[in-house]
Structure 1
Amino acid sequence: MNTPAAAGQEHRRLTQQEVDVICAKHDRLWSARLGGARAVFAFCDLSGLVLAGRNLCDADFTGALLVGADLRRCKLDNANLYGADMQGADLTDSSLRRADLRGSSLRGANLTGADMFEADLREGQIAAADREKGYRIIEPVQREAYAMGANLSGANLERSRLSGIVATKADFSDAILKDAKLVRANLKQANFNGANMAGADLSGANLAGADLRNTVLVGVKTMSWNVTGASMEGALTDKASGVDVSDMPYEQMIADHARWCETGGSEGKPSVFDKADLRNLKSIRGFNLTALSAKGAVFYGLDMEGVQMQGAQLEGADLRACNLRRADLRGARLKGAKLSGSDLRDAQLGPLLIGKERLLPADLTGVLLTNADLARADLRGACLAGADLSRANFTNANLKDVDITGTIRLGARGLEDLI
């Protein structure tokens, strides 16, 4: 159903020229120049108009009509969008950090890659100024925030407040929903494939028929939630996946492996962690784990900064949200591994010298690198064929001779010079 305009409230239609003038004055205010004024679009009709790329932080859009508006890359941090109607609007890569979206409608809107950190999308009421009462309620009922069919793939919704939102059939694939409040939210048939919902509150939420495949559900509150008919294949929960590391003498195994590496194989022995759940390790920072075999293992959230894993066998491993800064992964086999949201800044993913004039390139075929940070990483000669690089950061990375055949590069940065 459509969200109706507030009863008895007229909307003043603005022209594109009027909007441009108001935006220019707001920008002058924001940059502390003369002639500035805060943008106030309360109960105005901006449907179909273009505000792309504008800086409208702290602007007032209370009850505004923004149906089908072009808001791509728009900065709307701390903006008041209370009760605004943004059905079908294009908000791709926009910034809505801490924006007030209570009671708003995002039905069919495109919020791909939007930054909605701590945004408020709870239910709300529409009120208007009244000389005698201060504010009078225009609508006597609570209005839910609507995001039915909205595209929020790859959006950052960390710590956002979405309790009571109606987002049936919405696309949250690869979105970040860590510590988000989704109490009593209607999320029937929504797509959360690959989303990170760690620490989210889903108490009383309706997820019937939802796609929760490969979703991170660690630390999630699930009291009275409804997941009837939901697909949860590959979802990561608090329950150990595979062999729990607490059931293995991992400290001795790591010590043996390190000794094996340090002595060139004359002492110790190589460790095998295939399909093991290693999350209880918390940190393997700086460990020498060269040639480690951990196929299909779960490393989710581990501190692995500076780890040495040259030539490691990590096919299908879950390395999401890991700290891999300055990690040495030269020649590693990472085919089909999950690295979404991982920090790989300054990591070495180039070729490994394994013999005289013989190099072993890193294999990242089909790897998931959505929202990963690879700034300044060394990827010389690496194979990334078929990988998902959506919204990944490759700024100043060494990409000489890298194979990016068939990759998905939606919103990726630093790949502009590659064909």
Structure 2
Amino acid sequence: MRIQTSSWWTRVLLAAGAQRRPLNNNDLRNTDLRYADMSGTDLRGVDLSFVDLTSANLAEANLSQASMTGVQLSRADLTGVNLTEAVLSRGLLVNANLTRAIMRNAYVFHADLSLANMTKARLTGITLRDSVLVGANLTDAYITGAQLQGANFRGASLVRADLRRADLSNARLVDADVQAAFLVDARLRRASLVRANLIQANLVDADLRGTNLRGAILNGANLDGANLDGAMFAHTDLSNVTWSEQTVWPDRLGEVMLARSVQIGRGRYRVQGPEGREADATVPPVPVS
């Protein structure tokens, strides 16, 4: 859907700072709307592909189902914006403010959201495959059922984020803060969690096959029913981790964890104290198959 040509809309664009130019078939692609104030505007279903909205104010705007391929939204204020089912593939959203943004089922493939503030954003069902979220803040975000394969979350904050059933296969979470995150039934196959903070993370029934956990801190994490077959451990802090008879450990590590754990009932165990740190050569790193 494209917006309809009207004198009212022309006035809106000009008031927002758009450069006057002929509109060919209601086509607003490549329009310059830098620093525009379009807060609260209803832009449902419009085509804003390749529009420059750098530093624009779109707080509380409705951009649901909008086509925004290649859009430039760096440093834009998108607080509370509605981007439900919007397409932002290859968009540039560096340092954008997406606090409390609603992006349910949005398609954000191969976009750059480095340093974006996505605190308490609602991202259920979002597709962020191969996107860059380096240093992004997703604290308390709802990301259930999201497609995050190959995304780069290096140094990002996912503290208390709800990632139930999210697919993080091949994602990079190096140095990420995933403390107390909810990763029940999440898919993290071959993901890199090197030096990640997973303290108190809930990884019940998570798929961690082939995951790189070197240097990660899992103190107090819940691995009940998690599959860690082929996962790589070296200098990994597993103290106070809870696991169960259904947890799948890499070859030989299961026996080591059993020896270091106490049974807490119903087939569940807790790894004891600092001895849970797998730092010696008795359990060599397991290569990814």
* C-alpha distance in 1 between matches for 2:87 and 2:47: 15
* C-alpha distance in 1 between matches for 2:105 and 2:167: 14
Aligned to 1:168: 159
103, 107, 110: which one aligns with 1:95: 107
* C-alpha distance in 2 between matches for 1:20 and 1:198: 38
CA 1:98–1:114: 2 relative to 1, 3 Å: same
34, 45, 53: which one aligns with 1:41: 53
Asked if the contact 2:48–2:66 (Cα under 8 Å) also holds between the matched residues in 1, the reply is: no
Asked if the contact 2:35–2:53 (Cα under 8 Å) also holds between the matched residues in 1, the reply is: no
* C-alpha distance in 1 between matches for 2:118 and 2:132: 13
* C-alpha distance in 1 between matches for 2:115 and 2:223: 30
**Higher RCO structure (Cα 8 Å, ≥6 apart):** 2
44, 49, 52: which one aligns with 2:64: 52
> Does residue 221 in structure 1 map to residue 212 in structure 2?
yes
Q: TM-score, normalising length from structure 1?
A: 0.46
Identity of aligned residues (%): 25
Aligned to 1:13: 37
Asked if the contact 1:184–1:202 (Cα under 8 Å) also holds between the matched residues in 2, the reply is: yes
Q: Cα offset for 1:25?
A: 5.7
Letter in 1 for 2:137: Y
Q: How does 1:296-315 map to 2 (within 5 A)?
A: none
Superposed CA deviations along residues 332-353 of structure 1, whole A, max 9, x for unmatched, are xxxxxxxxxxxxxxxxxxxxxx
Q: What secondary structure sits across from 1:44 in the alignment?
A: coil
Q: What secondary structure sits across from 1:158 in the alignment?
A: coil
* C-alpha distance in 2 between matches for 1:220 and 1:191: 17
* C-alpha distance in 2 between matches for 1:25 and 1:54: 6
Q: Cα offset for 1:238?
A: 1.1
Aligned to 1:154: 145
Number of aligned residue pairs? 200
Q: Cα offset for 1:237?
A: 1.2
> Does residue 195 in structure 1 map to residue 209 in structure 2?
no
Asked if the contact 2:47–2:67 (Cα under 8 Å) also holds between the matched residues in 1, the reply is: no
Aligned to 2:254: none
Q: Cα offset for 1:11?
A: 5.2
> Which ranges of 4 or more aligned residues in structure 1 deviate by more than 6 Å?
none
> Does residue 208 in structure 1 map to residue 213 in structure 2?
no
Superposed CA deviations along residues 212-261 of structure 1, whole A, max 9, x for unmatched, are 00000000001110000000000011169xxxxxxxxxxxxxxxxxxxxx
Q: Cα offset for 1:39?
A: 1.4
> Does residue 26 in structure 1 map to residue 48 in structure 2?
yes
Q: Cα offset for 1:26?
A: 3.1
CA 1:13–1:26: 2 relative to 1, 3 Å: closer
> Does residue 78 in structure 1 map to residue 90 in structure 2?
yes
201, 223, 227: which one aligns with 1:232: 223
* C-alpha distance in 2 between matches for 1:42 and 1:192: 34
* C-alpha distance in 1 between matches for 2:221 and 2:68: 39
Q: Cα offset for 1:14?
A: 1.7
CA 1:24–1:192: 2 relative to 1, 3 Å: closer
Letter in 1 for 2:228: T
* C-alpha distance in 2 between matches for 1:221 and 1:24: 42
* C-alpha distance in 2 between matches for 1:237 and 1:16: 47
* C-alpha distance in 1 between matches for 2:230 and 2:212: 14
Asked if the contact 1:25–1:39 (Cα under 8 Å) also holds between the matched residues in 2, the reply is: no
Whose Rg is larger? Answer: 1
Unmatched tracts of structure 2, length 5 or more:
1-33, 232-245, 249-289
Letter in 1 for 2:56: C
Q: Cα offset for 1:167?
A: 1.1
Q: TM-score, normalising length from structure 2?
A: 0.66
Q: How does 1:325-344 map to 2 (within 5 A)?
A: none
Aligned to 2:129: 117
Aligned to 1:302: none
Aligned to 1:335: none
Q: What secondary structure sits across from 2:48 in the alignment?
A: helix
Letter in 2 for 1:158: Q
Q: What secondary structure sits across from 1:13 in the alignment?
A: coil
* C-alpha distance in 2 between matches for 1:26 and 1:191: 35
* C-alpha distance in 2 between matches for 1:199 and 1:24: 38
